[in-house]
Amino acid sequence: MSETQVCRQDDNVLETGTVPIIFVPGVMGSRISIPGGVDWDPDAPVSAMLPGWVMALASNVSKKLAPPSGGESSAPLLREASGLKGTQEQRGWGEIAKDFYRKILVALDGMSFGNYKTPVYAAGYDWRQSNTISGKYLAKHIGDILTAEKAEHFVMISHSMGGLATRACLKGSDDIRGKCLGIIHIAQPVDGAPVFIRRMFDGAAKDGFVMSQLLGSDRVTFQKVVSRATGPLQLLVTPNYRDRNGAWWYTYSTFERP
């Protein structure tokens, strides 16, 4: 019995290559180094965050939440973190809060996608500033990642306000947009964040002691704290939020007399 070699000549090709997975966190999820002040670091012990943030006056917290002066400059990010391997630290895992996101990074890192190499990166950003500015920062950062990995394409995963920053990133850069194979948005506040507008009405008293002390337990304090934070203010709801009758409910009257 003779042997016959069978060979397909159409799409029988084993695809390989490097496609980085880039995770972009939500508001307050990036660890920010604040020159001349107390760093924003959710991974730090509560005792370290108490004097500069949690127990600080609203006016002082508001100053820290103001974006850097000078247009499109960004505050440096904290990169060193406990429990990271060398490659993980190089890929920015230390830039984002461990308690918020470490599990999802580890899970992604342990997955396999065919024969592709998919290094997992975390892309923190200065969430205090406009998402437009954060988008420009992300575009440059992604370009650097592609160069380092000798990769032509990438995939993004965003959480919360990170979705707004990634959309701004792709909208502002034709080159980066053309290299993006796809995006997964987790809880993206497309039309704004209801929790933010609720805090505009009654503060953060319902969000636990730490958040209540940090952001203010009443509306006046909360508004004072966030008044300079351009990025978080972009989480205000849009007219797409309607009441049960389909009418726009968020007016000056409802805000002043809820």
Predicted confidence at residue 12, as pLDDT, reads: 54
- Which token pair is 162? 């990170």
Tens digit of each residue's pLDDT (9 = 90 or more) over 177-217: 999 999 999 999 998 998 998 899 889 999 999 899 999 99
Q: Angle at CA 177, nearest 5°, toward 12 and 106?
A: 75
Cβ(84)–Cβ(112) below 8 Å: no
Domains, the chain, ranges and CATH? 17-186 (3.40.50), 194-256 (no CATH)
E strands in 215-255: none
Q: 73 versus 167: which is more confidently predicted?
A: 167
pLDDT above 80 for 8: no
Tens digit of each residue's pLDDT (9 = 90 or more) over 160-179: 999 999 999 999 999 999 99
